[in-house]
Amino acid sequence: MLLKTSRSWHFLSKSVHLEQAARLKAVQAGLKAFERVGSFIKPTTRFIQIFGSHATKAVMEIDKPQLMKLLREERILLDDDWGQGYVILAVAGYGVIGLGLLVGGQVRSQVRARELSGLDW
């Protein structure tokens, strides 16, 4: 089921026990799936990592050199016209790592840079 807060939506497994959970003072519930960013509703990195593999479109597969370039320069210039909006970023050998944002013929990573840049890829 989807729980809504003022700026985000959370996935919580449907269960007959949710009534019990509703009586508790919760600090967090389930997995944050979407959040409002300006006028957009953006899927979260963790949501995309789980469900992105089921997507049939807007999936951009990049190789390791492209990933390194993305981490270094925070963007990759694209040869093809992908349009604008969010894409699912998948890295060969690792699968879906998160989201990218297509703007003006380039893709920018939407995963926090500090999360990715320090990793031993």
Partner 1 sequence: MDVLMAFVFDEYMDFIPDYRLFREAVNRPPPVHVRVNRLKARPEVVIASMGSRGIKVVPVSERFPSFLILENVSHPGNLPEYHLGHIHPQALSSCLAALILAPSPGSRALDMCAAPGGKTAFISELMQNTGLVVANELVPARQSPLGHTLTRLGVMNAVVTGYQAQEFPMRNRFDFILADVPCSGEGGFRGGKQPKKPVSKRGRVNLPELQKRILMRGFDMLAERGVMVYSTCTYNPDENEAVVQHLLEQRNAELLPFQTGFKQESGLLSWKTECYDSRLTVAARFYPHRVDSVGFFMARICRRN
> In 12-34, which positions are buried (b, 16+ CB within 10 angstroms) versus exposed (e)?
eeeeeeeeeeeeeeeeebeebbb
Stretch of residues binding partner 1 (CB under 8 A), selected from 18-26, 34-42, 81-89, 99-107: 18-26
Answer yes or no whether residue 54 interacts with partner 1 by CB under 8 A: no
Answer yes or no whether residue 21 interacts with partner 1 by CB under 8 A: yes
Q: Is 22 helix (H, G, I), strand (E, B) or coil?
A: helix
Ordered strands of the 59-62 beta sheet:
59-62, 85-91, 95-103, 106-109, 75-77
Answer yes or no whether residue 93 interacts with partner 1 by CB under 8 A: yes
Q: Of 9, 32, 70, 89, which one interacts with partner 1 (CB under 8 A)? A: 32
Q: Of 5, 7, 26, 37, which one interacts with partner 1 (CB under 8 A)? A: 26
Answer yes or no whether residue 97 interacts with partner 1 by CB under 8 A: yes
Give the residue with the Cβ less far from partner 1, 2 or 77.
2
Residue 35: its H or E element: strand 31-37
